[in-house]
Chain A
Amino acid sequence: MIREVAIVGVGWSGFRPITPDLSYKELMYEAAVQAYEEAGIDPRRDVDSFVTVAEDYNEGTSIFDEYVPDQLGALHRPVQTISGEGIHGLAAAVMQILTGQFDVVVVEGHSKASNILTLPYILAFAFDPVFNRPLAVHPYYVAGMEMLRYQVESGTSHYECACVAAKNRNNALLNPLAGYGAAISAADVMASEPVAEPLTRLECAGHSDGCITLVLAAGETARALTDTPVWVRGIGWANDTPWLESRPWGEARYAQAAAEMVYRTAGIKSPRAEIDFAEIDDTFAYKELQHLEALNLCPPGAAGEWTAAGGTEIGGEFPVNPSGGALGQGHLLDATGLARVLEVVLQLRGQAGQRQIETAEVGLAFGWRGVPTTGGAAVILSN
């Protein structure tokens, strides 16, 4: 990249399935204060620009972007809200620093999912209003159909998909931030109630409330602010066709395209050899496997076997979602990808406690916007 960019401060609030005590503004304030204190900055003086990610329908407020400046310390400053995945917001912040016009930029994403009383209806409302929405079916049907096609094309068994959920829920037991930790087996996962066959309840991430705030700084500023900057090596994002009628169903082409860009910008030729671990969208268990293959971290069709053999466990050859992922932490709506980034940062700083990976030098985070979308974004970080 044409200018060095580092993450110099992280803050979070949550993550918990419900937060009846805190408004979304207080969740944001709590995470922001922590990030600013860690970075040793005063937002009223030192931050040049703020980027947040949010969807009006998730917030229950139209023109929601107008409601973010006060709790971030962003009054009278450049502020923008992106309706995208958290890592799309990170990409926007990185680009602002790359322009040379901004040295310190803050990224924020949050979830107050527990306040959305009709979440499946909101998701169903994201479907094409003419061709798909009239069917009025629970939106996870798209995940069930994708999962089956992925299994058919890749030869992945249901057991191998269930291993992802078991691994991530067990990893979450080691993560104080995670609300969905459980000592469960793949057999437990497969035996849970069907949601949209073959997908079962324990293969779908529950939801959490929470907020993540990151402070980014340009090279020299970053070195002045901290001894442990986490460097942004590359960033990439892409969409596939939005049409259910034209998409490939078995493959995550948005992830393949985002991967090409993130590896190109990071100068990575052999991802599996040059990256030590990854935090990858696992909104549904099969998604972790499909994304691993699309991100070229294992050969096509090999992710299931690799996972079932323990290769992606914390002590395995290539740990995936040591944080517990969305299955273990709960899905954080638009902030889910930032939770993936947060874990990569904590691992690269050696602050991941019981779940610390020993040789964590380069990590990848990948976020997906969930059903019915085909949008994904990736970032590569190093210490």
Chain B
Amino acid sequence: MSLLHRIEHPRDALAWEGDMPTLGRYTAGIAGEKFFRAIQEHGQFLGTVCPICEIVYVPPRLYCEQCFEHLDEWIEISPIGWVHTFTLVHLDLDGNPLPEPLPLAFIQLDGADGGLVHFLDEIDPEQIFVGMPVEAVFKDPAERKGSILDIAYFRPV
């Protein structure tokens, strides 16, 4: 036996709308705190080093995801890197077209094995290429809040 009755007209199909209440706090953690404070207070990137795997983690972590060692060696990382890959986003979160395509990139930072996902600016989107050298532009110190958005964007060097 399966469904014997069907609703045959859209007007008869009832539905109720509702939303999900989700307000929370996301703790930056020991490593995240150090990383964001260095950006906020000094306009500086910090990373952690796994001496066993010779991996430099940016953003920093307290453990190596390859060998699972605890990491406690901290180093300063250059705000300069290069575009590992990028995209031009054309839609907002509602699926509507953006007035201008929005360039985002994964920036591989010099001296690190990782990097950051962030906006690109001060460049014609048509001129962006994989391998392009870029540098971080930080917000004015007074506007920084200890957030990833304390980096305003990356721009060509």
Q: From residue 256 to 301 of chain A, which have CB atoms closer than 8 A to chain B?
A: none
Cross-chain contact A194 with B117 (CB below 8 angstroms): no
Do residues A196 and B90 form an inter-chain contact, with CB atoms below 8 A? Answer: yes
Query: Which residues of A have CB within 8 Å of B26?
Result: 129-130
Q: Do residues A135 and B86 form an inter-chain contact, with CB atoms below 8 A?
A: no
- Is B1 in the interface zone, CB < 8 Å from A? yes
Chain B 99-124, CB within 8 Å of chain A: the 1/0 string? 00110111000000111111100000
CB–CB B95/A120 < 8 A: yes
> What is the total number of residues of chain B having a CB less than 8 Å from a CB of chain A?
49
B102 touches A137 (CB 8 A): yes
- Say which residue of A22, A136, A246 sits within 8 Å of B57 (CB atoms): A246
A198 to B18, CA, bound (A): 35
**Residue from the list B1, B6, B85 in contact with A152, Cβ < 8 A:** B85
By beta carbon, the residue of chain A nearest B102 is A137
Q: Is A145 an interface residue (CB 8 A)?
A: yes
A57–B102 Cα distance when bound, in Å, is 27
Give the residue of A20, A34, A132 whose beta carbon is less than 8 angstroms from that of B117: A132
Instruction: Give the interface segment out of A25-33, A318-326, A338-346.
Output: A25-33
Whole-angstrom distance between the alpha carbons of A129 and B59 in the complex? 14
Contact in complex: B13, A136 (CB < 8 Å): no
Q: Smallest CB–CB gap between B49 and chain A, Å? A: 14
Complex Cα distance A124/B94, Å? 11
User: Which of these, A120, A124, A193, A243, contacts B114 with CB under 8 Å?
Assistant: A243
Q: Which residue of B lies closest to A61 (CB)?
A: B20
Which residues of the partner chain A approach B137 to less than 8 Å between Cβ atoms?
Answer: none
A245 at interface (Cβ–Cβ under 8 A)?
yes
Minimum CB–CB distance from B91 to chain A (whole Å) comes to 5
Contact A124 B93 (CB under 8 A): yes
With A135-B104, A138-B93, A152-B130 known as contacts, the answer to whether A194 contacts B32 (CB < 8 A) is no
Residues in A whose Cβ lies below 8 Å from that of B2? 29-30, 33-34
B157 CB to nearest chain A CB (Å): 20
Please tell me if the beta carbons of A148 and B104 are within 8 angstroms of each other in the complex.
no
- Which B residues are CB-close (under 8 A) to A22? 3
B17→A117 contact, CB < 8 A: yes
Hey, which chain B residues are within 8 Å of A137, CB to CB? 89, 93, 102, 104
Least CB distance from A25 to B in Å reads 11
User: Known pairs A21-B6, A145-B117, A193-B90. 8 more at Cβ < 8 A?
Assistant: A130-B28, A138-B93, A141-B87, A145-B85, A145-B104, A195-B90, A197-B90, A241-B65
Q: Could you write out 27 A-B pairs with CB less than 8 Å apart? A: A20-B7, A20-B15, A29-B2, A120-B93, A129-B26, A130-B26, A130-B28, A131-B148, A134-B149, A135-B118, A137-B89, A137-B93, A140-B89, A141-B89, A144-B88, A148-B86, A152-B85, A152-B130, A193-B97, A194-B88, A194-B101, A195-B90, A196-B88, A196-B90, A243-B59, A245-B114, A250-B85
